[in-house]
Amino acid sequence: MFRYFKINEQGMKEIQEKIGNCLVIQDSTEKEREEIVQRYQLPNDIFLESKTPEDVSRLEKLQKTRLKDPLLLTLIDLSFDVEPIEASLHPVTFIYAQGLLIIHLSKKTSLLDVLLKEKNKKLFTAEEVIFQCILLIYDHYIKKLRQEKEKIDRLDQAAHSTTENKELFELANVKRTMVYLDHSLRDQQETVDRLIENKPMMERLDNESLLYDVKLRQRFTNKMVSIYRDLLESIGELFSDMIDNNLNHILKYLDSAALVISIPTLLFGLWGMNTGGLPGEKWSLGTLVIVLLALVSTVLASVHLFRKDYSK
């Protein structure tokens, strides 16, 4: 689907005619994408359709097109209400040229709807639209990271009292999510930094406040990821220590049980030898006495071991 917008001193407004200076392509068919590619002589693979979560962001100049000085910018947006994490990552492509801005969006994203809200309508240049989109993308990552922080807090509490499989599986899932977020943000940071170093674009942006907000969001998300990954590592180590501690207690119990069982086994073994001269061999109550002796010895050993504190 194609939507046309006019970006000027009055802001960003949608128009019906195909004469705008901003074209938004969202939830498009292959035929529609081919139409744009042929119209402007763009590379055939320029519009990514979320093939894999390993798609990378990029910034490059396009050659041999019908656009003037075109610049390709691809970023990875995130839908924070989609699971698993692989399905929530999708590319957003900008083709920035003199007189025209083309934005290609996945059907999963609500980026355009948020961009067109009342508070965001005062976007007077294509450069402001691009950086406002970058700001919103980082907001999506921040919201997702806050969701993961709630899970991390629950796991931190659980790690002090349980080592159930449910918590361990959730820990593995959160770690998986954080790995994808970490690598996506690191890759994206390099692309955004290169964009900020583009002097012609920065001269036309002329919005220090917006640029500062983008840099601040970038630093904020990177710090959040770094802190949360460290927290997950400490929680994982705590789970491992708890498992080792529980295993040690079980081994102490089994060793104690083996010691208790060995006492009657030793006594019965001694009095069961087929050799002469064994005390009480001709006594009618000999068997009962040996059983009682073994029982008393076992009880005494059990009481002694029970009083020992195995938690130290």
pLDDT tens by residue, 138-147:
999 999 999 9
pLDDT at 223: 93
Please give the average per-residue pLDDT across 110-123, as a whole number. Answer: 73
Is pLDDT of 45 > 70?
Answer: yes
Is pLDDT of 118 > 60?
Answer: no
Tens of pLDDT along 259-298? 888 878 877 777 776 666 666 666 667 677 778 888 888 8
Is pLDDT of 53 > 60?
Answer: no
Please give the average per-residue pLDDT across 117-128, as a whole number. Answer: 75
Q: What is the pTM of this model?
A: 0.77
pLDDT at 142: 93
Is pLDDT of 86 > 60?
Answer: yes
Angle between helix 208-271 and 126-159 (nearest 10): 20
| Strand pairing category for 22-26 and 100-105 | parallel
Is pLDDT of 10 > 60?
Answer: yes
8 Å CB contact between 72 and 101? no
Q: Which alpha helices (H) appear in the chain, and where do they start and end?
A: 30-40, 85-88, 111-115, 126-159, 165-196, 199-205, 208-271, 286-307
Measured from the Cβ of residue 6, the count of other Cβ atoms closer than 10 Å reads: 15
Q: In this predicted model, which residue has the larger pLDDT, 219 or 278? A: 219
